[in-house]
Structure 1
Amino acid sequence: MPENESGRRPHHHDDTDRRIHTVDARTLRAVAHPLRLRLLNALREFGPATASRLGERLGESSGATSYHLRQMAEAGLVEDAPELGKGRERWWRSVHDGSMFESSDFRRHADPQVRGAIDFVLHETATSHAEELNTWLGTMDDWPEDWQRSWDMSDFKIRLTPELAVELSRRMHELVETYRDAVPEDAEGSAVVRTHLHLFPRRSE
């Protein structure tokens, strides 16, 4: 199942069966647009679709979605899925299952457009995480009681060095990976679970 997944560069976990794209300056500039990010996320989460279907899902015109899909195709982020089309129907899919990047590499970039692009992508990602959580809070009553008891929204405050912060993040990535193929897609009562990781320092004064 294509995944809507992005984050910092992976910390040595095994991605041999997954297509993870390491973002470079070119692809960063190509995706630094609100509709393009939403299109890419939709293709990764829900699978291949036509521009019209994506437009219906996202509340956009097929002309707009078609244009931005072609722009992302030029950057190697999406591609045609001709085996799915009938007649003149054009289907698109994400080339990758997820994207990884090291934000500090781009925040120090000589090109101000690249620095602006990474700021945009980071803030859009944070907004997307908040929207996903708020959607769950607004719809949890529609889910079975087992799922209503299984979710979590926690925060923790601990004192760390930068090195220990990297270690904590790496170990959390590795823990998530151990669950990746634990449940078959058609397992009764299962669902795709979204897990967000936010780790950042706070001033104590």
Structure 2
Amino acid sequence: MDEIRLDARTLRALAHPLRIRLLGLLRGEGPATATGLAQRVGETSGTTSWHLRQLAEHGFIEEDAERGNKRERWWKASYESTELRMEDFRGDTESAGALAAYLYEIASGAYRRMTTFLADDWSDAWRESFVMSDQDLPLTPAELKAMRTELHDVVNKYRRAERTGDETVIVQIQGFPWKRP
């Protein structure tokens, strides 16, 4: 499966900071055990096991049958990307808290990835290729939506199989209205 589109049920299942982190690790770094993930996130393996089972129950992850044994259970992501359409939750007061928690954790994860990059010692070539930019643009909602589509098309143009010498590059696209004080 390539993509999961979040609905009210799957959003509520995912909207927990630890579950989002665990899923992010499995999607970004590949299969792992509850014990290995627990060490990465500073939790007990019992806690991570419980959250992994919740993620599996809702189709986000699955057991990696090619790894492990009866004592060691490996997990892997069951899809490539997550789609969340805000219009699916318009007027859904029961999902409002889960939606806020999910969006906050996604933004927090983006911040953590950026600050990790800034703190690490990368080669000059990577440092010179890095971009962190923000622009203030006067746009209508339709223009922002069109720009989002074009930016995703540009990112997809560069999507290919990994080759020798590659590093995984995180591309973050943000576009949102801002009310000036």
Give the AA of the match of 2:10. T
Q: Kindly provide the CA deviation profile for residues 62-113 of structure 1, in whole angstroms up to 9, marking residues without a partner as x.
A: 000001111111111111112211242111111111100112322421x42x
Offset of residue 204 of structure 1: 4.5
Residue 9 of structure 1 corresponds to which residue in structure 2?
A: none
Give the alignment's Cα RMSD to 1 decimal: 1.4
TM-score of the superposed pair, with normalisation by structure 2: 0.94
Structure 1 gaps of 5+ residues are 1-17
* Distance of 1:186 and 1:87 partners within structure 2: 34
Contact 2:5 2:83 (C-alpha < 8 Å) held by counterparts: yes
State the match for 1:13 in structure 2: none
SS at match of 1:82: coil
Percent identity between matched residues is 40
Q: Does 1:99 align with 2:85?
A: no
- The number of residue pairs the alignment matches comes to 181
Please give the TM-score of this superposition, normalised by the length of structure 1.
Answer: 0.84
1:178 to 133, 157, 163: 157
> Which residue is equivalent to 1:85?
68
* Residue 137 (structure 1) aligned with residue 118 (structure 2): yes
C-alpha distance in 2, partners of 1:31/1:187? 34
Distance 1:90 1:99 in 2: 24
What letter is aligned with 2:100?
A: D
CA contact (8 A) 1:48 1:92 kept: yes
**Quick one: distance in 2 between partners of 1:29 and 1:101?**
12
- Partner of 1:53, secondary structure, is helix
Q: Which amino acid aligns with 1:187?
A: T
CA distance in structure 2 between the partners assigned to 1:116 and 1:46 by the alignment: 29
CA contact (8 A) 2:31 2:64 kept: yes
Return 5+ residue gaps in structure 2 as ranges. Answer: none
Match of 1:15 in 2: none
Q: Shift of the alpha carbon at 1:201?
A: 1.2
